[in-house]
Chains A and B, each alone.
Chain A
């Protein structure tokens, strides 16, 4: 297809993605289109449905975009190679998820970092306890929190500091945010209830 439409090089794509907001969107979409043939390949190779592969591919593009923005993509390999590796890994994660009866907590890098703060003798216990929580149910309960509570917990989950949340959401101070956030977590815990945990 390169004969019929302009194909952007890696450096052009990266420059565009790091560019102004309007330009960024165009180049993000170009990146999506450029390697979208991987979806069909994955359907055949991993025996996943087209919908699953398509969603995994979108997830991959989003991850690559995040890595380009936060500098984690250092350009040691081509975007295609980088993207392909992430896509394959994410397909593996879906295969794993499909192989288990219930969605487990797949611990992300951020949670891993928190677990590493814990002393070794407690880490295993906490990991086991976390694994007993049903993430789907927890997410459902999160959606049931009031608008303010959901926003505050969501912002916290995204890694915003209390000070930033205070400014963004119009709270008086970071201390007020902290108190409200902990109250919201307590409320979430009540909503989740004991039935959410395995026996």
Chain B
């Protein structure tokens, strides 16, 4: 194994050595393959270590007593309280015969259905965004985000880059970033179809900080009033 590979990723090469290594990498397929093997091995060993830990903990958690055994703790007082609660629930159900809406679940369902895989579309501007979508679909989220950011650094108005960057950030649970991307997307007036406000509402619902639900509802109302993308879902969610 070429020691330079380890030194390169350990960032221990001098400027000149680094430049030489990168030049060699372009012209030498064997070196490129060795680098790929080095990185794949690192990932495999990391996954192996974690998998071992996961199997140990999974076995431990499977052996935990099931919650149903807690019924043994039931005493008369709790039984009365449970009965009263049941009656109250029944009355409430009778008068408010509508299930409570859980926007969190609705939003999670939408994300699941629509953001699991990003569709490749004709006319994606350049290779970079297409590759960003590939990276996302392969689970390479940091790479996908970097690609979108590189497009946005040269083309700050690129709506698709903002959309993908927002979706990736959402997947990485970086809600602040996702909200920022979607907010900037939603502010673009020149687009024929703009899901920015709807997506921003989703990110707010998922972040779930105090005040987020209200902001999300206000955005969903805007989506409905202005007939923006996501209107069908917004109408259902606001019912």
Contact = CB atoms under 8 A, between A and B. Distances in A.
B46 to A, nearest CB: 4
A142 B139 contact: no
A149 B175 CA distance: 41
Interface string A123-151: 11111011111010011001100000000
B58 interface: yes
Given A3-B78, A139-B48, A182-B3, A129 B143 contact: no
B138 A104 contact: yes
Contacts of A124: 131
Contacts of A156: 42, 45
Nearest to B128: A120
B221 interface: no
A62 B54 contact: yes
Interface in A5-62: 5, 29, 32-33, 36, 45-46, 54-55, 58-59, 61-62
A122 interface: yes
Given A93-B139, A106-B138, A130 B39 contact: yes
A157 B45 contact: yes
B1 A185 contact: yes
B48 to A, nearest CB: 5
Size class of the contact patch on chain A = 35 or more
Interface residues of B, number: 68
Contact of A107 (B26, B140, B206): B140
Chain B interface, >50% SS class: helix
Given A110-B42, A153-B41, A158-B46, 9 more contacts: A59-B54, A61-B57, A76-B176, A85-B206, A95-B116, A107-B138, A115-B143, A125-B32, A142-B41
Interface of B: 1, 3, 6, 8-9, 11, 22, 25-26, 32-33, 35-51, 53-54, 57-58, 60-62, 64, 67, 70-71, 73-74, 78, 81-82, 104, 108-109, 111-112, 116-117, 131, 137-143, 146, 171, 173, 175-176, 206-209
Contacts of A32: 61, 64
The 7 A-B residue pairs whose C-beta atoms are closest, nearest first, are: A157-B45, A129-B36, A112-B142, A106-B139, A157-B46, A58-B58, A133-B40
A130 B1 CA distance: 16
Main secondary structure of the interface of A (DSSP, over half): helix
A96 B9 contact: no
A126 B36 contact: yes
Nearest to B60: A29
B37 to A, nearest CB: 6
Contacts of A117: 8-9, 11
Nearest to B6: A182
B44 A189 contact: no
A85 to B, nearest CB: 5
Interface in A71-110: 76-78, 81-82, 84-86, 88-89, 91-93, 95-96, 104-110
Q: Which of B36, B40, B137 has the most CB of A within 10 A?
A: B40
Given A5-B70, A76-B175, A116-B142, A142 B44 contact: yes
B206 A81 contact: yes
Contacts of B207: 76-77
A58 B54 contact: yes
B168 to A, nearest CB: 11
Nearest to B71: A4
A111 B42 contact: yes
26 contacts: A1-B67, A3-B82, A4-B73, A4-B74, A32-B61, A62-B57, A77-B207, A85-B108, A88-B111, A105-B43, A107-B43, A111-B43, A113-B142, A115-B143, A117-B11, A121-B26, A131-B138, A135-B40, A135-B44, A139-B48, A139-B51, A157-B42, A158-B46, A182-B1, A182-B6, A185-B38
